[in-house]
Chain A
Amino acid sequence: MMTASDDTAAKPAKRSSIDFKTIGPAVALLILCIIGFLLNPAFVSEGNLTNLLTRSAFIGIIAVGATFVITAGGIDLSVGSMAAAISGVMIIIMNNAVETMGSGVPTVLLGCGLAIVLGIGAGWVNGALTTKGKIEAFIVTLGTMGIYRSLVTYFADGGTLSLNFDIRGTYRPVYYDTFLGLPFPVWVFIAVAICGWLLLNRTAFGRYCTAIGSNEAVARYSAINVDRVKTLTYVIQGLCVSFATIIYVPRLGSASASTGVLWELEAIAAVIIGGTVLKGGYGRIGGTILGALILTTIGNILNFTDVISNYLNGTMQGLIIIVAVFLQRSDWKLGKSK
């Protein structure tokens, strides 16, 4: 209860800085967009903006899940491998179901349903090993990262798993078709973002996540079922990975050992750029969304110019990430001194 009263006491002081924190990532994104436009006006063409939003959806959806895990003081390194493994299993099951169920919508639904079950299951395993098994989340998810990655390599016999061509026809619209001018993946992204925001900011569960992240022992004394809440954050993460996978598979209809490589780091970067604190206790879904958009925009802009050597792409990305977070943290201090 101590922390709770501390929080309320600190609130008036913080309030003046809240605007800075909220608009920080938004300003960064805006600046990036202006740079993009100046480099090449085609950057703001409708086609490119649609591509950008759609591309952000994978990392963005996964990062919404990661916001919960990180806010509650955990970390999940397995999400990229998990996405690859779920894609692989989805493709195998759908290919095998063609003979009995045909290549229509039921087969696709079977694949999607399976993806959700697998995502929840994989998330629960991470959560249970962390809480009941009492192993550090970093180690648990480092382990499952290796396991899922090698599983997809094994399923694909070292090669690439490809979705049956007939199902691809049925499933393809999920990535490529639009509704009210926006592609479906963007709608999924929006829906996940809204649900995530409500869950984190408007429910007891969200407050528990924040409480556990800021001080686990105090949360435990406050009669919060810490293990259950923490496990649930990993389950949410797994579910988000499932959603990302469901919209990823119809894009190229394939999965291999190179699917989802480094997605975990991109998701974590998106979360931190967005203002969530890496050691837990403070999370912002809106910032995470902006973080994901910023990351995708950097890559997009680098493809739009040949001013910078290709070999320095990683340098540019690294610099922008560090500068974005630095500006944000400086704003924090500024807010406090006010």
Chain B
Amino acid sequence: MAALKEEAMLMKKALGVIAVTGALAFAGAAVAQEKIKIGVSYPTPTHAWAAGMNWHAEQAEKRLEALYPDVDLILVNSPDPEAQASALEDLVSVHQIDALVVLPFESEPLTDPVLNVKKSGAWITVVDRGLSQPGIEDLYVAGNNPELGRVSAQYMKTRLKEGDNIVILRGIPTVIDNERFDAFMAEIEGSGINVLDHKHANWNRDDGFEVMQDFLSRFPDIDAVWAQDDDIAIGVVAALKQAGRDGDGMFVVGGAGMKETIKAIMDGETLIPVDVLYPPAMIATAMDQTVAAFKSNGPVAGRYILGATLITPENAENYYFPDSPF
């Protein structure tokens, strides 16, 4: 830890030196040179969660730049991995960034571009999706997928008893989905709760609706649903209401932290009584910590894994952002 701190301090000093020489050499451009420039790169938002992330990044930019006049955050979003790789090059060559916060489109194709940014001497913060080569990033900020599955299963166990039946709607077949599902199954094992079946609903409302309709036709006795995701949960609820099976203590557990879902939890909705957090706001956490690497006297480098908090009526207000698109 001491070494890390030293490294950070050295870096600060080095930056100071650069800033001073810059000021002496080009008095006119001094203002721009003194700033700590932090590039923030992430995929162009094409779905609700990513749109939420974009919103939180913009909020964090405003907040941090108001707090630290000498910090300049540069947000760039890219529609595909190649574009993101070019954006990273531009951040180094055009903006000469001191630090990079990056949510990689895909791990593999962006590992080298991020490594090149690292070679320019910048601080690297990686968000959500890890790079395929370890040790490049100074800081890793991510949600916790296995924890999301585990927390959901723990909640199920508090509400259900032995012999009760649940069905599971999964996301798009990916590592993320497997991590969540495997952790859920590991936690539920031995509890006596029957998992009737699990199908992919692709983190999508329409698929959630249709898969749940079929589960309802197929299984006459379902006590609860793990929908894993708030969008799927919306489809599930519509199917339950259509079939008139939304009573009798039936409940659905989603995940992510969509504002409508959190609002409903605040209002005491019983069909979706809780939610499990996998917040798009993690980009703001990453930006905060990256700025802290320059401003704080505490060490920052390391791994910052967010908890998969269980959102209940008691704490829902803390996670409610009415202006965010998600």
- Which chain A residues have a beta carbon within 8 Å of chain B's beta carbons? 40, 42-43, 45, 47-48, 51, 55, 153, 156-160, 162, 176, 251-252, 254, 256-259, 299-300, 303-304, 306, 310-311, 313
In the complex, chain B residues whose CB is within 8 Å of the CB of A159:
47-48, 51-52, 325-326
**Contact among B46, B173, B218 for A257, CB-based, below 8 A:** B46
Contact status A51-B213, CB under 8 Å: yes
Q: Identify whether the interface residues of B are mostly helix, strand, loop, or mixed.
A: helix
Contact (A304, B218) CB under 8 Å given A158-B325, A251-B209: yes
Q: Is B82 an interface residue (CB 8 A)?
A: no
Q: Is B5 an interface residue (CB 8 A)?
A: no
Closest to A254 in B: B205
Cα-based distance from A303 to B210 in the complex (angstroms): 9
Q: Is B9 an interface residue (CB 8 A)?
A: no
Contact status B210-A299, CB under 8 Å: yes
- Which chain B residues have a beta carbon within 8 Å of chain A's beta carbons? 45-48, 50-52, 54, 170, 173, 197-200, 204-206, 209-211, 213-218, 231, 234-235, 238, 242-243, 260, 325-326
Contact (A156, B325) CB under 8 Å given A51-B214, A55-B210, A162-B260: yes
Cα-based distance from A256 to B242 in the complex (angstroms): 22
Closest to A309 in B: B173
Contact status B51-A252, CB under 8 Å: no
In the complex, chain B residues whose CB is within 8 Å of the CB of A311:
173
Can you spell out 5 A-B residue pairs with CB atoms less than 8 angstroms apart?
A47-B216, A47-B243, A51-B213, A55-B213, A157-B325
Contact status A259-B200, CB under 8 Å: no
Contact (A310, B325) CB under 8 Å given A51-B213, A159-B48, A252-B234: no
Cα-based distance from A335 to B237 in the complex (angstroms): 50
CB of B296 to closest CB in A, whole Å: 32
Contact status B214-A303, CB under 8 Å: yes
In the complex, chain B residues whose CB is within 8 Å of the CB of A176:
242
In the complex, chain B residues whose CB is within 8 Å of the CB of A162:
260
Closest to A54 in B: B213
In the complex, chain B residues whose CB is within 8 Å of the CB of A157:
51, 325
**Contact among B48, B200, B210, B216 for A310, CB-based, below 8 A:** B200
Contact (A304, B206) CB under 8 Å given A162-B260, A310-B173, A313-B200: no
In the complex, chain A residues whose CB is within 8 Å of the CB of B204:
258
Cα-based distance from A276 to B124 in the complex (angstroms): 56
Closest to A40 in B: B218
Cα-based distance from A158 to B206 in the complex (angstroms): 17
Closest 3 CB pairs of A and B: A158-B51, A159-B325, A158-B45
CB of A119 to closest CB in B, whole Å: 20
Contact (A158, B214) CB under 8 Å given A251-B209, A303-B199: no
CB of A308 to closest CB in B, whole Å: 11
In the complex, chain A residues whose CB is within 8 Å of the CB of B48:
156, 158-160, 256
Contact status A310-B205, CB under 8 Å: no
Closest to A259 in B: B206
In the complex, chain A residues whose CB is within 8 Å of the CB of B170:
310
A156-B51, A160-B205 are known; give 12 further A-B pairs, CB within 8 A: A55-B210, A156-B325, A157-B51, A158-B46, A158-B50, A159-B47, A159-B326, A256-B47, A256-B205, A258-B205, A303-B215, A311-B173
